[in-house]
Amino acid sequence: MKTYQTDKIRNIALIGNAGSGKTSIAEAMLFEGGVIDRKGTVGGKNTASDYNEIEHENENSVFSTVLYTEFNDHKINIIDTPGADDFIGGVISSFYAADVAVMAINAQHGVEVGTEILSRHCETYNKPLMLVMNKLDHEGANYEKAIESLKTSFGSKVVVVQYPVSNGPDFNAIIDVLMMKMYKFNDKGEREILDIPADQKDTAEELHNTLVEAAAENDEQLMELFFEKGSLDEDEMRKGITAGLVSRGMFPLFCMSAEKSFGVKRVLEFITNVAPAPDAMPAPETIDGKAIECKEGDPTSLFVFKTANESHIGEINYFKVTSGSVNEGMDLNNNETSTKERLSQLYAVAGKNRTKVSKIVAGDIGAAVKLKNTKTNHTLSDPKNSFKFPKIKFLEPKHRTAIRALNESDDEKLGEALARLHEIDPTVTVEYSKELKQILLFGQGEYHLNNIVKWHLDNIYKIETEFYAPKIPYRETITKTAESSYRHKKQSGGSGQFGEVHMVIEPYKEGVPDPTSYKVNGKEIKISVRNKEEHPLPWGGMLVFYNCIVGGAIDARFLPAILKGIMEKMEEGPLTGSYARDIRVAIYDGKMHPVDSNEISFKLAGRNAFRAAFKNAGPKIMEPIYDVEVIVPSDRMGDVMSDLQGRRAMIEGMNSDKGFEKLKAKVPLAELNKYSTALSSLSGGRATYTMSFSKYEQVPMDVQEKLIKTFEEQEEED
């Protein structure tokens, strides 16, 4: 394979709602370019893209796949991304390598929830966007309805470049208003270029003029030419469309049937002729704000946007050359790990097929194997440079589950496997919660974790595991003042143990003055603060510890032990064993023994006095509340809202947004277990949601009583 120069390279990310036919489009593009000699099908499990065993079982994309085709003396790198919202990580990472997003639209449905979500990501990452309406040959295809939904969502930025003469089973011809020709296709997908029929000329002229105006609007010189001549020639239009793409001022629309190869060649022509080359895009910036120009003559740098692990090969790193060029056998510095890496073998990748190459230039995408310390998000560069590119910002997780190995001897093996799975899909994150005493998995949905984690553990790593409901990180606190004392006394031969502590506890509120006296159960306790310690807690909130001892009742050297005992109990609250927070403690009296008093005695006395006071101080349990935003088709809004209300949700607002309903609510985390699965069931897979932590709020009293009872029963069993 020859080395393509930067101006002959195009990088696209194929995106779209599940079922829009992205993998079939990619397959048709590779076939048109001669990279494959026969088109595969998803059902036949023989496509260049979805080649993993798990993708064959699911019959849809689970991972993003790096591909390429050669067309019109250009190399077009294609990243085929998953359509399911659970696998959004593959889409996000592709934006760090692709220069243009090509959005597949299912002609049967038009804009779907996934279309809307993906368009927002394109906007966030400022990616130029092309639209390809696919499956126009399907009996349910409805071009007019689909184009209407596109204009509702994207407005006037949608500019028709092509429209079908008819859609449905009779679809076999496309009017191209850029070239002002009709493309007609036979059963083999071969096209014939014809003049536009008389009955289509008025429509084609009107759309052509709209396209010319849209192209002119993106360049002042073109606008002046347009006003002078009343039109633009083909080269001028291409220049204007390229400018409009780069600035996201226009989203050109094409038509096709990828399955029959209708219209695919014309899209490839447009990509090579009009879509921007890597060096025409804004230069990426390092974390220090330095722009790195995409020039072959500059020092070498590259960014790793994807890591995979495959049997018989091992680890594969996919990268984009951001500057300079990479040669086989080159040594580069990994600026993340401060180690040297030798790129001994370089590949151009078309799914599972890899072509060995000796050189990859700026703007191109390639792969390397057997790198020692390189992973996703790492920057490699010439030893003279030490900059790093910003890391890929993946979405916050929407689903959590606890996991354990059924065989304790597999615990270490499980940890290693989970770390590897995080490397191939960074949206799968793992955390050992000291608070909950559970290994927690986080992902984009139950379907996500079942397919990425559970499937791999069962089939690749051969580890028997169980997913089970995670505990909720409740918080405990108090609502009123309480007093208690505790004497710890133990004598068992030799020196004994003795420590007595008197304390008052009260709720902590920021800005409240230090106490001078307390009134508890009709009894007034006057105190004098000798020392104050404020302890911000790792889990949130505050503990304020006052030393109010007078007359040497307790030696100052025992105060740290009392504090330690209190802190131990705050780490395992008296009500449910959850973390306690926002409490002020005043130690105002106590007793010592000249021989038997020691630190352990006062630690135990402080711990038990705090526990007794806590239960008399109007204790309450706080639960984590999350902000949830659901995007759902209008016809499923009622079911989704009813379900949320059944989950103790507080609905905060709803509004229509580009043809969908957007619902905002605050929902207790305890009620969100497996919500992704429930929402998919309620909406037929047409809704999506995001969630983020909001605050802690007191649980209802009936819920609190149930939680305390459950905890007490558990303690008795233990």
pLDDT at res. 515: 94
The predicted-structure confidence for 513-553, as pLDDT tens digits, reads as follows 999 999 988 889 999 999 999 999 999 999 999 999 998 99
- Separation of alpha carbons 304 and 302, rounded Å: 7
pLDDT of residue 71 exceeding 80, the answer is yes
In this structure, what are the phi and psi dihedrals at residue 714, rounded to the nearest 5 degrees? -65, -40
pLDDT of residue 696 exceeding 70, the answer is yes
Nearest to 35, CA basis, from 351, 303, 484: 351
> For 199-210, what is the mean pLDDT?
94
User: How long a stretch of residues is the chain?
Assistant: 718
The predicted-structure confidence for 310-349, as pLDDT tens digits, reads as follows 877 889 999 999 999 999 999 999 999 999 999 999 999 9
pLDDT band at 575 (very low <50, low <70, confident <90, very high): very high
- Which residues make Cβ contacts (< 8 Å) with residue 587, sequence separation at least 6? 501, 502, 503, 545, 546, 547, 548, 549, 554, 559, 562, 606
Q: Are strands 475-477 and 482-490 parallel, antiparallel or unpaired?
A: unpaired
> For 69-96, what is the mean pLDDT?
95
- Which residues make Cβ contacts (< 8 Å) with residue 325, sequence separation at least 6? 296, 300, 359, 360, 361, 362
In this structure, what are the phi and psi dihedrals at residue 58, rounded to the nearest 5 degrees? -85, -20
pLDDT at res. 386: 87
pLDDT of residue 230 exceeding 70, the answer is no
pLDDT at res. 687: 86
pLDDT band at 431 (very low <50, low <70, confident <90, very high): very high
pLDDT at res. 313: 81
In this structure, what are the phi and psi dihedrals at residue 206, rounded to the nearest 5 degrees? -60, -45
pLDDT at res. 665: 96
pLDDT of residue 281 exceeding 70, the answer is yes
**Helices and strands (DSSP H and E) totals, the chain:** 17, 38
pLDDT band at 229 (very low <50, low <70, confident <90, very high): low
Strands (E), 395-457: 399-405, 429-433, 438-443
pLDDT at res. 456: 94
Spell out the domains of the chain, with CATH numbers in brackets. 6-280 (3.40.50.300), 301-381 (2.40.30.10), 399-468 (3.30.70.870), 479-618 (3.30.230.10), 621-703 (3.30.70.240)
* Edge-to-edge order in the sheet of strand 465-468: 429-433, 438-443, 399-405, 465-468
- Separation of alpha carbons 366 and 302, rounded Å: 10
The predicted-structure confidence for 86-142, as pLDDT tens digits, reads as follows 999 999 999 999 999 999 999 999 999 889 889 989 999 999 999 999 999 999 999
pLDDT at res. 96: 96
pLDDT at res. 225: 65
pLDDT of residue 658 exceeding 80, the answer is no
pLDDT at res. 616: 95
Q: How many CB atoms neighbour CB 192 within 10 A?
A: 10
- Separation of alpha carbons 516 and 530, rounded Å: 11
Q: pTM higher than 0.85 for the full model?
A: yes
- Separation of alpha carbons 1 and 585, rounded Å: 74
Both tokens of 97, joined, read 């390598």
Asked if residues 439 and 402 have their Cβ atoms less than 8 Å apart, the reply is yes
> Which amino acid, residue 364?
D
- Separation of alpha carbons 304 and 444, rounded Å: 22
Both tokens of 232, joined, read 């633009």
Q: What is the DSSP letter of 164?
A: E
Strands (E), 522-635: 523-526, 531-536, 542-547, 579-580, 583-591, 620-632
Both tokens of 157, joined, read 């930025």
pLDDT at res. 587: 97
- Which residues make Cβ contacts (< 8 Å) with residue 596, sequence separation at least 6? 491, 495, 496, 497, 498
- Which residues make Cβ contacts (< 8 Å) with residue 518, sequence separation at least 6? 481, 483, 504, 506, 524, 525, 527, 586
The predicted-structure confidence for 13-67, as pLDDT tens digits, reads as follows 999 999 999 999 999 999 999 999 999 988 889 999 988 888 888 888 999 999 9
Mean pLDDT of the chain: 93
**% of the chain at pLDDT higher than 70:** 98
